[in-house]
Chain A
């Protein structure tokens, strides 16, 4: 049995072309540092939350070859956890973020143990079903506020000192966390762990025969992905001061797949570009109503039929360097 790779923009040697990635990384920092001068900061914060969400998802599919169709459960769980901790328990924002991320990691551990028992499309179906179960749980659980969600979540004071209710302070926090998380993903991908993960993606039986406990690697990758997705969800809850069922619904899981596919599966910067495009589309085409769903479906079809490398994957292919 060959586990063929879904990633098209295969990254080259471990060290080849890292210079280009550094340049791309500086461009990324520059964009989000200057961005608020031109664009609405809350919009940019939304982009960063979803970009981190998509990067976390991509860590699993792009480097582990596992397609999760249930990542919304991590985004939503940590959103509810952060909102509840900040609003009901009066946690400071950094503690709320930590607590919420830990909740997502725990959920990742439990669901991961179940999901990695099957591969390929079964993995996708199982994660989808598990996230639907989580959705129904939140629909009925008393602390989530059902259809209303948890509203008016206080952003609080960072370390009890810095007031985050202003958008500038909040932007700085989101920006710092986002860049740190992207750096962390970059480090994971280029670590020996990341290399083993890629080996498993390319040929699992062979990695197994080389003595790697592939299930363990897959589980760790899954938990890492869940944790980072949780971090994104917790930030999102603080930025928008809202945690709602939208974030747990399966359509959110579909959206993150779309962002990553459009940007480029298995590329470092693809998910960020993909998230930026999809969020802009939702923002500026909001008056189209249900046509947004149709457009998203069309992008899926076009990407799969003709554009499998995605935006960043195409650029990387053009300059013959991994991005």
Chain B
């Protein structure tokens, strides 16, 4: 069977890879958007924190023999706590200054974290096994779907939609959105805004770490795994605009698919297609597809 001269097996295979990449784009850009909403900084450490999530899972398995399922819960908490410490000790001192200082600080922190991990573990990737329960796959007739990949897409969707639900439909979410609009007024109503900011940063960082744990069995665990990914995620964020949570989820998955399709039809451009789309979006709608220009 062929579509446009491309075997369906290859087409759906690349679309699946696109969806997987899209899951990570969505998770990471969601974390960036949540952090940006409240802290007004772009978290350049995000890629390093994604990498840390994968390494925490790797270390838990190899040093303490704690498996994938526990890591899925523990790694985001551990990395989230380091995020809380970073926010309390450093980021919180910078809110009164130009936002660019937050960007420079998180960039520096990212360099430190990546450098430390490279010193300790070297540049080569370490393998991480797929958990037993998710090995194997389903034959869907038109393609073969590995169970673990289906799981990643599913979890990413659930986490993204869950975050959207919390932000848009619960009381906690309404506090967060109100604090984004006018923090001092929310504080006057008796809400502890500084603590909310700290926990939001921890949560966003935790999302990155969760992405890292899920990525560990697919890509190898290496100190560089987050560095290039985060630049693509920045482009995703620029394309989607950071105004809406649902927007960043849709953009993440959508661009993953576009990238997958490009790999089928014009592989040379697959690395650059997202940046090209970014340039086009900037020309047509500078605020991003779902953003509002402030």
Binding site for B on A (CB under 8 A): 1, 4-6, 67, 114, 117-118, 120-122, 124-126, 128-130, 132-133, 136-137, 139-140, 250, 254, 257, 261, 289-294, 296-301, 303-305, 308
Contact = CB atoms under 8 A, between A and B. Distances in A.
Contact of B279 (A5, A114, A137, A257): A114
A184 to B, nearest CB: 26
A136 B272 contact: yes
B90 A301 contact: yes
Contact of A305 (B41, B93, B227): B93
B234 A125 contact: yes
B40 to A, nearest CB: 8
Contact of B42 (A125, A139, A298): A125
B107 A254 contact: yes
A205 B279 CA distance: 25
Contacts of B228: 132
A297 B110 contact: yes
A124 B103 contact: yes
A120 B100 contact: yes
Chain A contact residues: helix, strand, loop or mixed: helix
A298 B112 CA distance: 7
B215 interface: no
B141 to A, nearest CB: 36
Interface of B: 41-42, 90, 93-94, 97-101, 103-105, 107-116, 118-119, 227-228, 231-232, 234-235, 237-238, 268, 271-272, 275-276, 278-279, 282-283, 286, 294
A136 B271 contact: yes
B104 A304 contact: yes
A118 B110 CA distance: 24
Given A121-B99, A126-B238, A301 B275 contact: no
A125 B275 contact: no
A301 B112 contact: yes
A126 B237 CA distance: 10
**List of 9 A-B pairs having minimum Cβ-Cβ separation, nearest first:** A300-B108, A297-B111, A297-B112, A293-B115, A133-B275, A294-B115, A129-B235, A136-B271, A117-B286
A20 B235 CA distance: 44
Given A122-B238, A132-B231, A294 B112 contact: yes
Nearest to A257: B104
A294 B111 contact: yes
A120 B282 contact: no
Given A129-B278, A297-B108, A298-B112, A137 B231 contact: no
Nearest to B93: A305
A129 B238 contact: yes
Nearest to B117: A290
Contacts of B98: 4-6
Contacts of A125: 42, 234-235, 237-238
A259 B85 CA distance: 27
Contact of B99 (A120, A126, A139): A120
A118 B278 CA distance: 12
A199 B193 CA distance: 34
A118 B282 contact: yes
B111 A254 contact: yes
Contacts of B93: 305
A250 B276 CA distance: 18
24 contacts: A5-B98, A6-B101, A120-B100, A121-B41, A122-B238, A124-B42, A125-B42, A126-B282, A128-B231, A128-B234, A130-B278, A250-B231, A290-B115, A291-B115, A294-B116, A297-B108, A297-B113, A300-B104, A300-B108, A301-B105, A301-B109, A304-B94, A304-B101, A304-B105
A5 B99 CA distance: 10
Contacts of B42: 121, 124-125
Nearest to A132: B231
B164 to A, nearest CB: 22
B271 to A, nearest CB: 4
A297 B235 CA distance: 23
B7 to A, nearest CB: 25
Contacts of B271: 136, 139-140
B275 A130 contact: yes
A304 B108 contact: yes
A118 B118 CA distance: 35
Give the most central of B41, B104, B268: most A CB within 10 Å.
B104
Contacts of A5: 98
B109 A297 contact: yes
Given A290-B119, A291-B115, A305 B100 contact: no
A182 B196 CA distance: 47
A137 B276 CA distance: 12
Nearest to A294: B115
B275 A129 contact: yes
A289 B118 CA distance: 10
B282 A114 contact: yes
A109 to B, nearest CB: 14
